[in-house]
């Protein structure tokens, strides 16, 4: 019988002031902005990192960390290769979830919604703002496809750099942006003894309705 790696005693207690419905803004986008700014101002490492969870047409889940690049009342946006696992999943099943976790504040934000592609213009605008090295890496990689070795990938980057010595490598058609339009937010604040606070925002015809869920 395989030896069990026992992690049952690996834990920490959460200490915070907690949150109530009245503490949070009426608009979840405003509340998200406030918490994100607190994380950025506190120099939280990778404050804009979010776990993106998708599922294919058969319901098989997949998750990975991506970076939030911009957001407004229309949704939360990121960029990637549409030929990747996440791109393939979203083409089959556009429902997805985002998770932000800021350990330093014992906070999480969960966002669930529908995902749609951004325009090629939006993809161009962000692609050409990226550092040169990142542009060449994106142009050289067919994300998630099998490769023989790393050397083959690095060789492709060098070939593109020779082809575009001024750095003007074109954006691949498959490298696009996505936007998740929320249908639910959850703001989670860790509390002692695992009696955490969970405030949920759900849309109504006129505004967002706040409710509390049991931890």
**Residues tagged active-site:** 194
| DSSP code at position 141 | -
Contact (CB, 8 A) for 129 and 187: no
State whether the Cα torsion 72-78-79-80 is positive or negative. negative
Token pair 């949704």 is found at 75
d(CA 76, CA 25): 18
Contact (CB, 8 A) for 72 and 119: no
């Amino acid at each position: 019988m395989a030896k069990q790696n026992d992690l049952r005693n690996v834990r920490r207690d959460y200490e915070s002031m907690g949150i109530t419905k009245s503490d949070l803004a009426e608009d979840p986008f405003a509340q998200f902005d406030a918490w994100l700014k607190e994380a950025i101002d506190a120099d939280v490492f990778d404050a804009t990192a979010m776990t993106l969870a998708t599922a294919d047409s058969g319901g098989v889940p997949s998750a990975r960390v991506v970076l939030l690049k911009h957001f407004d009342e229309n949704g939360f946006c990121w960029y990637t290769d549409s030929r990747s696992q996440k791109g393939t999943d979203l083409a089959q099943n556009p429902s997805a979830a985002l998770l932000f976790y800021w350990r330093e504040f014992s906070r999480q934000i969960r966002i669930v919604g529908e995902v749609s592609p951004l325009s090629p213009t939006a993809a161009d605008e962000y692609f050409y703002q990226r550092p040169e090295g990142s542009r060449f890496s994106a142009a050289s990689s067919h994300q998630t496809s099998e490769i023989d070795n790393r050397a083959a990938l690095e060789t492709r980057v060098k070939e593109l750099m020779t082809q575009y010595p001024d750095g003007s490598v074109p954006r691949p058609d498959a490298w696009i942006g996505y936007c998740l339009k929320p249908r639910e937010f959850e703001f989670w604040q860790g509390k002692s003894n695992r009696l955490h606070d969970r405030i949920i925002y759900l849309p109504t015809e006129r505004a967002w309705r706040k409710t509390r869920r049991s931890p």
